[in-house]
Amino acid sequence: MLDPKKWRRFSGTFSFSHDEPIDFVRVEIVADDAVIRNENNEDVPLYITDIHFQAGKQLTGWVPETREFLRKLYHTNDETKTRVSVDDIYNGGKTPVKRTNLEFREYNIAGRGIEVFTLPNWYPDDWYVQVLPTGVDFEIIPKDDYDLFRLCTNDGSLKDPEHYYNNDPDHPLSMTYTREFTIGGGSAGVPIKILSRSGKAYVGSTRLPIGGVNSITLSDGSNFPIKRRSFFLAQKGASRFRIEFYKFKNGILQDTGIGYYGTAKFNQWTFGRSRF
Amino acid sequence: MSGQRRLLTWTLNAGSQAYEEDLEKYGHKIYALGVHEFQVEYDGEIYVRRAIPSFYDGDNYGTYRWGADADGDGLPDHFIDNAKTRSWMSWSFWRSIERGMRRWSHIRHYISFILFGATRVTRMFDNPAYQDNFIENVKAVIDNVMNSYNYPGESNAPYIKGIEIDFEASFSDSQYDYRTGDNITYMNILKRIKNEVCIPRGLALQVNAYAMWGKNTPFYYRFHDYELFANTTDSQGNAVIDELQIMTYDFSWNGSSPGASTPLWWFKEVSDWAKQCFGAPGAKLTMDRVFFGAAGYGHRWGIYDYNRLYGSTITYRNFIDWQNGLYKHNHSTEQIGSDGNTIYEWHNQEFLCFAGIEDQESKNQILQQHVYDYFKARYGVVSEVNGSPTARLSTYNGQEYITTYSRIQRSEFTNIVAESFAPSSTDPAPSPSGQVRTYNGIINTPITIKENGVVSTRSGIIGYQTYGKKWIPKTEQGVGTYCDLVPSGKVTYTLNVPSAGSYRLIALVSFIWYNQAKLGCILNGSHSFTIQPFADYYPLMFKASHWYDCGVKQFQAGANTITIDGDLSDDGTVIYGFIVCEDFKNNFSGGEVTFKSTVKPFKKKDGTYASVPATLAITSKALRQDPIPLIMWEDRFAQYRRVVDEQGNVTYQDLPDLTTSSYYAKYEVRTAKGNGDTLSADKTYCYDPANPTYEIGYSWGVWAVKQDPYNGNPDDAYAYWGDLNSGGRLLVNYEFRSNLCVEIEFRVTQAGAVGIQFGGSSGTDGYVFVADYKARKLRLTLNDVVIQEQDLPASYGVGDRTKLKVILHNGKGYFYFGYSDVKAFGGQIFDLSRGSGGVTGIYANKVEARFYVLRISTTDKWDLMEKFTVETKIGGQTYRKTFGAISRSGYTIDPNFGYLNFSGIDETVTRDPLPDGKKPEISLDYEFFITEVPGFDGSADIKVIFDDPGIWYAYLYVCDKEGASVTWCGDSYSFLDTMNRAVNEYGAKGIGLWTMGQEDPRLFETIPDVVPYHEAPPGI
């Protein structure tokens, strides 16, 4: 049986011209610096499962085969771990607590404008346990009124020139990402919830449609095309997510530093038992 | 690709749990391990690093040598020497290392020898006997460690593949400024190690090098000479250095302001220089044997308390623990608890969980613990004066900041009683070449008037210029027959004052040049007064417009007239109008930025919201600068390339000759016209036969202005001298009076002489401070006679951008070369024949050179760039705190113009000493400035007022006064990014990870195996 833990991903980036359409891509795989001998110094086959093209310069996480049985991880959050002496003093009565058998991890977010947030999908109880991708629930509360909000992965690429925002390739809205969730203008204090685990999204108490929305109307009356709304997965390690808030300034959506706070929440999974 | 993407790391943490786990799990991915265990003393003695306590900060390890009893246990301590003392080999770390050799036999172990510190390194460099001793001791250590202690009878030779040399020293102290040849000495030591130790034993030589981004750059690390590293060969004709690890980490560290260990912009500069050296044709040490470096750890800097600003190093696992809320802020009580451990006091805040932020440049993670709101500089709302922002966003070394480059007049009026910005009459009517002319300097500029705190603007203001009386030919049928006197031009403004009394009169004027800077005025037909600068360092010279305080005048009720008379004025001086008010403040300062903050509580682990802290810290990250002599004239030459059309569009074109401008007017003798009643022979003008001509300008030669091709920014320009057969001068069209500080920044592109001319009264006399790149001399001349001369330091070559500076103060001359503050000519101070001032500017002779900056300042006044104010209102209460002002009890600051009233060359003498007796210093790095306010759940405007210009304001944080931090840490993303750049863009062999056990373990998953993973051999 092939051990799934022995599979490795290799990646590289290349650029191509936007001037001409791509007819085909020929990929030549050269096993030049690969170890294709086993521990007994015997030649072994090099298996390749698939080649995947993705826009952008960063690797995304991978999603386990749906036939795998996943196992939910429960964790311990032990604040006493950092105690130095048994006689340590805790001011304000805020003493350390050891919490066990916890299902969720929830992280505070505070930011302004466009930021890339990192969520630690690690399992420090056992640092080397295989942690799998998991859905993340975001609740983001704007501190200021805004004209556009976009939550996305941090793996993206420049749009085609005809789709540049304001004909400006340097504008952050001229980038597209593998997963995006875009919302039109909103008010300070009204929470935005994008809940991957339940597949629902809200602004305040209004539930947002997911599929079939190709554009949204902005506060200036213009129609803004959007990518299909997607929910979000955190892969193992420090997963990156972009939060982008925009406000019209001189007729253009700009990063004016809209403030926000909120949380990102997820539970964790590892391999269960393979069907193979 | 073969053999690349390799990982080099070190044994620094051997024995720790994380190190041992990493080694077990990922050893098959490690190419080499530096056995970082042997410390070298200046005299070549070698010590076991772990025998030297971490708290030891002395300058002589001798205390810890074998035979000494440093720890007082009555037994000798441990030491490596020819006596082959081996007892330290029983220590656990060595057992771990020897086991590691056998666990992963493919890992190339390099025995490291570490010599740190300028005093140690220079002493070894200066003493060949110490070098001999060092090399003999290296041999002894190597031969010693080849025999295994923990595996008796076994050799370590199959695993020890090389020697690593790690000499680190910063020659930043000025005592080392003129030290040369250390690069050659160091290379010779490396060569001896290779030839005498490595080659006979079949070992490789690996060297750790400082990150350099040019030859001798940075200057204080110049003994690490990449060109020598690249091209020096050993006794067999190969490169002396087999592998080089360039330490591209620790750019930010505990003692610096927060930032990435490996900022991308810095990595690129270092890599570019490395590739230039190791990628050069014929280089013996090539890029494919170069490692760049990356740090596995991060740093946390407190931002809530002045006593907690110094950073602390954290591992990646610590970083995750912080994110998971296992830490909160604390401090040591320095008391020992009942369990023998130090008691810590944990501050009154919750254990909270936080998401991190990615720095999009370095891909590092940033954690802002207990920070409730924060602002990048770009999110500030900048106030405006006269339609222009009072501060601008800029970037230096990848860090954005907002600043005011020079002071702005943000004047404040109290109770304006009358104003007039259009004359009630002119005599004669304005005409383009008449005695009264109009001037459109600010016609499109809304002029800001702040009265009693309320801002309004006045637009479309037209300026007026008057001219003095002159003689012109009286023409009859187009031919002059005799001369006629044309009276001076006059412009009159009428101000309607409601009630008679004493009021302050403020004029809106412009002094275009030193000879267009005087307005003679008559109030109500009888009271005359003059508007003019009080010195050549008048700070508002050359402004398109500025407010001029004429003082308190008596006004009558109703109409009052003020007449400008051309005979009492400099020709062409501009008047825009007047304001009569009760009081006026110049407020000549930097700008003002407002941050609209909102504080909201964080969620606790139980899902409920914590309270907002009772006290918040508002923390500014800002950089202050040392005072500078007050600038009178500064030119970066870009303005001459800008062409603005009527629509305001800007294009750029080179200027053929700068001496066509009035600022640098070419020396000419011109015919005087209009100064007398004698008709010229051709009857076209009248003149004074006693003064038939006059001279203008001082410059000579052709001085083009071109775009600097360095970074493609059209606003980066230089003045150019390109005649290799003759010389020229670019001299400001004014003979200065004040004490002078003159600086030029330049780059010689074909050898010849460049310099600063000063202290003369014409374009051809006076002193010149010359850097002659052809003769390789630095010299001071007076009217071409050499007064003093020295060799040009070898480290300054053609193509290097550098600087010359002259100070002429009260008859003393001080001279500086390069960016150092060390005086040239061996520190000599010269008695000069002229006390101050003179004609000054740039000198060039038979050279091709680019001049980027000409700055002429006066040492009679010093401009401060140190203080700013943070102001906010919470619950109806205003909180205001001014930061950065250095106490100078014996000196005053000008209330109108903000400069320090100090005449001298060393401003630091004005600073009151600190309690420890030292003079306060201004950091070269960003600092944090903290103020406390009551906690609030909601919004508040936070205003940052730059009392001085030159403050670089980067960040504002609103955080918990009980504890808040900014933490930076690299992870697998940033590591992979660095690896990709190192290998794919620069062809390097891989990355040196400093150091294993501290990093994000996922980074190992991004690099290829060196060997297949395999279980430990039996018995290991």
- Residues B141-163 have pLDDT tens digits of 899 899 998 999 999 999 999 99
Q: Which residues of A touch B355 (CB under 8 A)?
A: 107-109, 117-119, 264
Interface with A, mutate which of B973, B975, B985, B1009 (most A CBs under 10 A)? B973
Indicate if the pLDDT at residue B72 is higher than 90: no
Cβ contacts of B547-550, under 8 Å, gap ≥ 24: B547/B409, B547/B411, B547/B506, B547/B507, B547/B508, B547/B579, B547/B584, B547/B586, B548/B506, B548/B507, B548/B508, B548/B509, B549/B504, B549/B505, B549/B506, B549/B584, B549/B586, B549/B896, B550/B504, B550/B505, B550/B506, B550/B507, B550/B521
Instruction: Give me the mean pLDDT over the B126-151 stretch.
Output: 93
pLDDT at A204 over 80: yes
Taking the C-alpha atoms of residue B178 and residue B192, their distance in angstroms, rounded to an integer, is 26
Least confident of A50-64, A156-170, A260-274, B181-195: A50-64
Q: pLDDT digit string (tens) for B374-389?
A: 999 999 999 999 999 9
Contact list, A237 vs chain B (CB under 8 Å): 971-972, 1000, 1002
B698, pLDDT greater than 60:
yes
Give this prediction's pTM: 0.92
pLDDT-wise least confident of B36-50, B71-85, B336-350, B723-737 = B71-85
Q: What is the mean pLDDT of residues A121-148?
A: 94
Question: Residue B792 pLDDT more than 60?
Answer: yes
For position B711, what pLDDT does the model report?
A: 66
Residue of A nearest to B962 (CA): A91
Give the pLDDT confidence score for residue B82 in this predicted structure.
41
Query: Do the Cβ atoms of B343 and A144 come within 8 Å?
Result: no
| Cβ contact, residue pair A108, B355, below 8 Å | yes
- In angstroms, the separation between the Cα of residue B617 and the nearest Cα of chain A is 16
So what's the ipTM on this one? 0.90
Q: Please state the rounded mean pLDDT for residues B546-561.
A: 98
Facing residue for B320 by CB, picked from A38, A106, A120: A120
**CA atoms of B765 and B700, how far apart (whole Å):** 13
Which pLDDT does position B222 carry in this prediction?
93
Q: Is A144 on the interface with B (CB under 8 A)?
A: yes
- Chain B interface test: which of A85, A146, A175 (most B C-beta within 10 Å): A85
Q: Does the beta carbon of A141 lie under 8 angstroms from any beta carbon of chain B?
A: yes
Q: In the prediction, which pLDDT does B636 show?
A: 94
**Under 8 Å CB-to-CB from A53, ≥6 apart: which residues?**
A25
Q: Which residue has the higher pLDDT, B89 or B643?
A: B643
Q: Given CB atoms, is A107 within the 8 Å cutoff of chain B?
A: yes
Q: How confident is residue B823, by pLDDT bands cut at 50, 70 and 90?
A: confident
pLDDT band with cut points at 50, 70 and 90 for residue B81 = very low
Whole-number average pLDDT of chain B: 94
DSSP letter for B189, please.
H
Q: Distance (Å) from the C-alpha of residue B603 to the closest C-alpha of chain A?
A: 7
Residues of A in contact with B333 (CB under 8 A): 89
Quick one: which of B322, B304, B571 has its CA closest to B436?
Answer: B571
Q: Calculate helix-pair angle for B182-192, B118-125, nearest 10 degrees.
A: 70
Average pLDDT over residues B400-429: 97
| pLDDT over threshold 90, residue B133 | yes
| Residues in CB range of B417: below 8 A, 6 or more apart | B497, B498, B499, B503, B580, B581, B582
Question: Burial level of B993, CB count in 10 A (0-12/13-18/19+)?
Answer: buried
Q: Which residues of A touch B984 (CB under 8 A)?
A: 12
Contact B1009 A78 (CB under 8 A): no
pLDDT at A59: 58
Q: How far is B15 from chain A (nearest CA, A)?
A: 18
CA atoms within 13 A on the CB side of A211: 1
The whole-number pLDDT of residue B796 equals 81
Stronger pLDDT, A56 or B183, i.e. the higher one: B183
Q: Which residue of A has its CA nearest to B28?
A: A35
Give A20's pLDDT tier (boundaries 50, 70, 90): confident
| Contact at CB, B365 and A118, closer than 8 angstroms | yes
Of B324, B1000, B1010, the CB nearest to A77: B324
B613 min Cα distance to partner chain A (Å): 12
Q: Is A22 on the interface with B (CB under 8 A)?
A: no
- Burial class of residue B138 (count of CB atoms within 10 Å of its CB; 0-12, 13-18, 19+): buried
* pLDDT recorded at residue A128: 80
Residues B392, B403 contacting (CB under 8 angstroms):
yes
- The C-alpha of A130 sits at a distance from chain B's nearest C-alpha, in angstroms, of 11
Tokens 């020229």, residue located: B728
pLDDT, tens digit, 9 for 90 and up, residues B883-903: 999 999 999 999 999 999 999
CA gap B843, A51 in Å, rounded: 64
Closest listed residue to residue B732, CA positions, set B753, B769, B757, B768: B757
pLDDT for B797 equals 84
Among the residue ranges B90-94, B540-544, B636-640, B674-678, the one predicted with the least confidence is B90-94
Q: What is the pLDDT of residue B89?
A: 80
3-class SS letters over B90-124: HCHHHHHHHHHHHHCCCCEEEEEEEEECHHHHHHH
The type of residue at B173 is: D
Q: Higher confidence at residue A46 or residue B328?
A: B328
d(CA B914, CA B931): 21
Residues A146-160 have a mean pLDDT of: 93
pLDDT at B67 over 50: no
Minimal CA separation from A212 to chain B, in Å:
32
Residue among B22, B910, A59, B452 at smallest CA distance from B901: B910
- The kind and range of the H/E element at B140 are helix B128-145
Could you tell me what percent of chain B has a pLDDT over 70?
A: 97
Mean pLDDT for the stretch of residues B239-255: 97
**pLDDT band at B316, cuts 50/70/90?**
very high
Among chain A residues, CA nearest to B29: A35
| Domains of chain A with bracketed CATH | 106-270 (2.60.120.860)
Range with the poorest average pLDDT among A154-158, B283-287, B609-613: A154-158
Residues A241-253: tens digit of each pLDDT: 999 999 999 999 9
> Which residues in chain A touch residue B341, judged by CB atoms under 8 angstroms apart?
84-86
Which pLDDT does position A29 carry in this prediction? Answer: 77
Taking the alpha carbons of B883, B888, B894, B899 in that order, is the dihedral positive or negative? negative
